[in-house]
Amino acid sequence: MTTAATSTSKMAAEPAGGSLRFYGVWLLGIVILIVLPMIFSSGGSLTSFSLIGIAIVFALSYNILLGQTGLLSFGHAVHYGLGGFAACHMMNAVVSHGWPIPLPFIPLFGGIGGLAFAMIIGWVMTKRAGTVFAMISLGIGELVASSSLILRSVFGGESGITTDRTALPKLLGWSFGPQLQVYYLIAFWLVLSAVAMYALTRTPLGRICNAVRDNPERVQFIGYDPHVVRYFAFCFAGFFAGIAGGLAAINFEIANSAYLGAIQSGLVLFSTFIGGTAFFFGPILGAILVTYLQLGLTNLTTAWQLYFGIIFIGIVMYSPGGIAGLLMMHRPLIRAGTLWTVIPSYFVAVVPTVALACGVILTIETVARFSGGDPINMFGIAFRATSPVTWLTAAILVVGGFFVARLTWRRIAEAWDRAATVARDRGYLA
Amino acid sequence: MTAAIEVRAVEKRFGNVGIIRDLNLSVAKGERHAIIGPNGAGKSTTFNLISGHIKPTSGEVRLNGDLISGLRPFEINRRGLSRSFQVTNVFARMTVWENVRCAVLWATGHRYAFWKNVDSLPEVRQRTAQILDDIHLTHRRDVPAGLLTYAEQRELEIGITIAGGATVVMLDEPTAGMSHAETDRAVSLIRRLTEGKTLVIVEHDMSVVFGLADRISVLVYGHIIASGTPEEIRRDPKVKEAYLGEEAH
Ligand SMILES: Nc1ncnc2c1ncn2[C@@H]1O[C@H](COP(=O)(O)OP(=O)(O)OP(=O)(O)O)[C@@H](O)[C@H]1O
Ligand SMILES: [Mg+2]
């Protein structure tokens, strides 16, 4: 959505052109959100867009911890889930008491739910960063998730808490029955939250969060208590996660224990990391990609979690900066005008890399279906899992693809090195 | 007049090893005080004890007459004491500009503010620009601190230390590893930036020490064996024997 980096951005004296481009990017994002459902108006795509919007808010909130303050949480879904429950209870209370609160205000109560819990447990949790914080977050996550099944009056046990979003007072004649209206409600809160979270990175607190991430020891010697800084970051992250949870509650008209659980916590970590934590827009890319993969892959294959794992390992090993990191690597080359020397090597690499990927997919699907299932359909060719031809094809693709692909990857690296050296010589940092 | 820093009978043991033994040190306000001593004497440990990085096993430390031993580093820093580190200790992924600006924020009263745009705080911007100018890093303002050269990082280290406007500045080997020319530049920088402030400096380069300091303390095996003007230290037989003798300059 925006190209501003959270760590190495240009500061105070941004030239007018820069700020124009900056507002342009945000405006473009808003326009896209408005017109998307006009272009893709099927029920399925509206549902997808709604889920993506929620996932973006959630992932951005997670990056307040991971990317901006250097806190690795394994239990961020707790705030998302509690936000969802808070929103459901609030909606039911509004309906039963006849309060004049229309639906668009409900996500705020989700946020308050997430924030309240963060404020209560945060002080103890953020005493330490690093492994201690990660472990406590895991423990709290499990604790809350299991409590949600025990404390039936609050969490509704297995079935959760249901609600009816259309029963709330109407706003400007919108009942929020149709998915399209819900989509716009989510898009509205997405913009609001994204702007607020971006603005947070531009405040004294936001900058000190970065300092705590980089060097919590030194921060103490410039007057700051890193514990307080982490606590603030934790509360803000909890608040925005709660908003995301509130949006989910509105979208599904239910909140249940799955909202709070380890899978949800893992998914947001996954999205944020894949998107890239060093840039504000990274988690946005990650949330879009992961939600799409999740929706798409679950229909296509039973082994979808395996693909998630492979993608995650690949990113961790080969591109720890995530997708955003990969994209932003090109910026100095674009500025120095040397990108074109690298592009051809990309094209050369595409064919063997795709062959390798197909081989891997074929292998996974073959193994997954060995004990029965439909044949694998790839490029119109049906492969049967028990047929030796399938195994041979997979082996050739994987082994052959790998060796050829490795050669082409080396060529990319060489071309890249040359281009980066030139860029550096021309004064653009690579 | 109360001393800027008063260290009384401080002991520090790591496990069973006594690293600092009966340390007594007094630094007057406005004084430039050098601490010298052989490697491993406990100079950095003394800095850590005064700045709150570690707590004394016993004894007390006073800043402008107030007891500060036992306080946490940021509490001591807020009372006007700032220190640098022997091993460069900056915010590596943040730019030079942001490094210095972060060090300005508390002192300018913005603290944990999350309702202000950090880019539109005029006094913060002015002060940051001034300090970058002072440490000659204006042309490197948008470079991540981790990518600076060693000498530049040392200058940034000084910049971060003085950015908050502390009245007591402690520098731990600011010129270590610098070339001759870089050292000269750093020394004149230090001299200028600590004008009217209390300075405590650890330094191995004797020409720097004797050129800069009003008073010198000699630390050997965690104990101050002599404290006085450069002239007194030069003449002190104990110092000659314990320190200057073995590290002939
Ligand atoms: N945290 C610690 N735990 C155990 N021993 C320590 C610790 N910190 C310092 N020491 C020991 O205390 C002694 C003094 O160390 P210190 O770093 O203060 O020396 P120094 O005078 O600054 O030396 P140099 O000139 O090399 O910087 C050393 O023997 C060191 O190994
Ligand atoms: Mg030392």
Q: Is the pLDDT of residue B96 over 90?
A: yes
pTM score, two decimals?
Answer: 0.92
The tokens describing A382, both together, are: 């049906």
**Residue located via tokens 């119109």:** A380
Sheet holding B32-36, edge to edge: B81-83, B168-172, B198-202, B32-36, B215-220, B223-228
Q: What is the CATH number of the domain that holds B118?
A: 3.40.50.300
B141:A205 CB<8 A: no
Does residue B150's CB lie within 6 angstroms of at least one atom of ligand 1? no
Interface probe for A, chosen from B84, B98, B131 (most Cβ of A below 10 Å), is B98
The count of domains in chain B is 1
pLDDT of residue B246: 54
CA dihedral A278, A279, A283, A288 (to 10 degrees): -130
Q: How far is residue A70 from each of residues A233, A421, B235, measured CA to CA in Å?
A: 10, 31, 53
Domain that holds residue B218: 5-248
Tens-binned pLDDT, residue by residue, of chain A (430 aa): 333 343 333 333 444 556 888 899 999 999 999 999 999 988 888 999 999 999 999 999 999 999 999 999 999 999 999 999 999 999 999 999 989 999 999 999 999 999 999 999 999 999 999 999 999 999 999 999 988 888 888 888 888 899 988 888 888 878 888 889 999 999 999 999 999 999 999 999 999 999 999 999 999 999 999 999 999 999 999 999 999 999 999 999 999 888 998 999 999 999 999 999 999 999 999 999 999 988 888 877 778 888 888 888 988 888 889 999 999 988 888 888 888 888 888 888 898 899 898 888 888 888 887 776 677 777 777 777 777 888 888 888 989 989 998 889 888 888 888 888 888 888 776 5
Spell out which residues of chain B touch residue A210, defining contact as CB-CB under 8 Å.
91, 93-94, 98, 102
Ligand nearest to the CA of B36: 1
Q: Is the pLDDT of residue B13 over 90?
A: yes
Residue A413 and residue A424: Cα distance in Å, rounded? 16
B180-189 contact pairs (CB < 8 A, 24+):
B182/B151, B183/B208, B185/B136, B186/B154, B186/B155, B186/B158, B187/B211, B187/B212, B189/B134, B189/B135, B189/B136, B189/B155, B189/B158
Rounded to the nearest angstrom, the minimum Cα separation between B80 and chain A is: 9
Q: Quick check: B86 contacting A, CB < 8 Å?
A: no
Give SS3 for B145. Answer: helix
Residue A143 and residue A103: Cα distance in Å, rounded? 31
The 10 Å CB-count burial string (b at 16+, else e) for A218-249 is: bbbbbbbbbbbbbbbbbbbbbbbbbbbbbbbb
B158 vs B246: which has the higher pLDDT:
B158
Question: What fold is seen in the domain A18-328?
Answer: ABC transporter involved in vitamin B12 uptake, BtuC (1.10.3470)
**Residue located via tokens 């029963």:** A167
pLDDT of residue B245: 56
Q: Mapped to the 3 state alphabet, what secondary structure does chain A carry?
A: CCCCECCCCCCCCCCHHHHHHHHHHHHHHHHHHHHHHHHCCCHHHHHHHHHHHHHHHHHHHHHHHHHHHCCCCCCCHHHHHHHHHHHHHHHHHHHHHCCCCCHHHHHHHHHHHHHHHHHHHHHHHCCCCHHHHHHHHHHHHHHHHHHHHHCHHHHCHHHCEECCHHHCCCECCECCCCHHHHHHHHHHHHHHHHHHHHHHHCCHHHHHHHHHHHCHHHHHHHCCCHHHHHHHHHHHHHHHHHHHHHHHHHHHCEECHHHHCHHHHHHHHHHHHHHCCCECCHHHHHHHHHHHHHHHHHHHCCCHHHHHHHHHHHHHHHCCCHHHHHHHHCHHHHHHCCHHHCHHHHHHHHHHHHHHHHHHHHHHHHHHCCCCCCCEEECCEEECCCCHHHHHHHHHHHHHHHHHHHHHHHHHHHHHHHHHHHHHHCCCCC
Q: How far is residue B177 from each of residues A41, A73, B145, B203, measured CA to CA in Å?
A: 66, 40, 18, 11
Q: Which residue CA neighbors atom 5 of ligand 1 most closely? A: B14
Residue A189 and residue A107: Cα distance in Å, rounded? 8
Considering Cα of A28, then A278, then B157, then B143, what sign does the dihedral take?
negative
pLDDT of residue B248: 44
Q: Of A10, A14, A211, which has the smallest distance from its Cβ to B102's Cβ?
A: A211
User: Average pLDDT over chain B, rounded to whole?
Assistant: 93
Which of B10, B16, B35, B44 gets mutated to test ligand 1 (max ligand atoms within 8 A of its CB)? B44
DSSP β-bridge partners for residue A161: A255
Chain B CA closest to residue A206:
B114
The alpha carbon of A422 and the centre of ligand 2 are apart by a number of angstroms equal to: 41
Contacts of residue A38, Cβ cutoff 8 Å, sequence gap at least 6: none
CB atoms within 10 A of CB A43: 10
Q: How far is residue A309 from each of residues A67, A260, B197, measured CA to CA in Å?
A: 21, 21, 57
Measured at the CA of A350, the angle between CA A345 and CA A352, to 5 degrees, comes to 110
Ligand 1 atom closest to the CA of B37, numbered from 1: 21
Rounded to the nearest angstrom, the minimum Cα separation between A202 and chain B is: 6
pLDDT of residue B66: 96
Check: CB of residue B7 under 8 Å from CB of residue B50: yes
Q: Of B91, B118, B141, which has the smallest distance from its Cβ to A218's Cβ?
A: B91
Residue whose C-alpha is closest to residue A83's, from A60, A115, A51: A115
Q: Which residue CA neighbors atom 30 of ligand 1 most closely? A: B40
Going from N- to C-terminal start, the domains of chain A cover 18-328, 331-425
Does residue B39's CB lie within 6 angstroms of at least one atom of ligand 1? yes
DSSP β-bridge partners for residue B226: B218
Check: CB of residue A237 under 8 Å from CB of residue A61: yes
Q: Is the pLDDT of residue B10 over 70?
A: yes
Residue A426 and residue A428: Cα distance in Å, rounded? 6
Residue A351 and residue B43: Cα distance in Å, rounded? 62
Residue B103 and residue B148: Cα distance in Å, rounded? 18
B106:A11 CB<8 A: no
Ligand 1 atom closest to the CA of B48, numbered from 1: 18
Residue A356 has φ and ψ, to the nearest 5°, of -60, -45
Chain B CA closest to residue A212:
B91
pLDDT of residue A17: 56
Residue whose C-alpha is closest to residue A425's, from A333, A345, A360: A333
Reported as type and span, the H/E element at residue B162 is: helix B150-163
Ligand 1 atom closest to the CA of B54, numbered from 1: 1
Does residue B222's CB lie within 6 angstroms of at least one atom of ligand 1? no
What ipTM was reported for this prediction?
A: 0.94
Q: Quick check: B73 contacting A, CB < 8 Å?
A: yes
pLDDT of residue A44: 86
Chain A residues whose C-beta is within 8 A of a chain B C-beta are 7-12, 14, 199-200, 202-208, 210-211, 213-215, 217-225, 228-229, 232, 236, 278, 429
Burial zone of A196 (CB within 10 Å; 0-12 exposed, 13-18 middle, 19+ buried): middle
Identify the weakest region by mean pLDDT among A118-122, B165-169, B180-184. Answer: B180-184
DSSP β-bridge partners for residue B27: B5
Check: CB of residue B109 under 8 Å from CB of residue B121: no
The 10 Å CB-count burial string (b at 16+, else e) for A276-304 is: bbbbbbbbbbbbbbbbebbeebeeebebe
Does residue B177's CB lie within 6 angstroms of at least one atom of ligand 1? no
Q: Which letter does DSSP use for residue B120 in this model?
A: G
Q: Which residue CA neighbors atom 29 of ligand 1 most closely? A: B40
Residue-wise pLDDT for B25-63, tens only, equals 999 999 999 999 999 999 999 999 999 999 999 999 999
Contacts of residue A311, Cβ cutoff 8 Å, sequence gap at least 6: A274, A293
pLDDT of residue A12: 39
Ligand nearest to the CA of B220: 1
**Residue located via tokens 């949006």:** A247
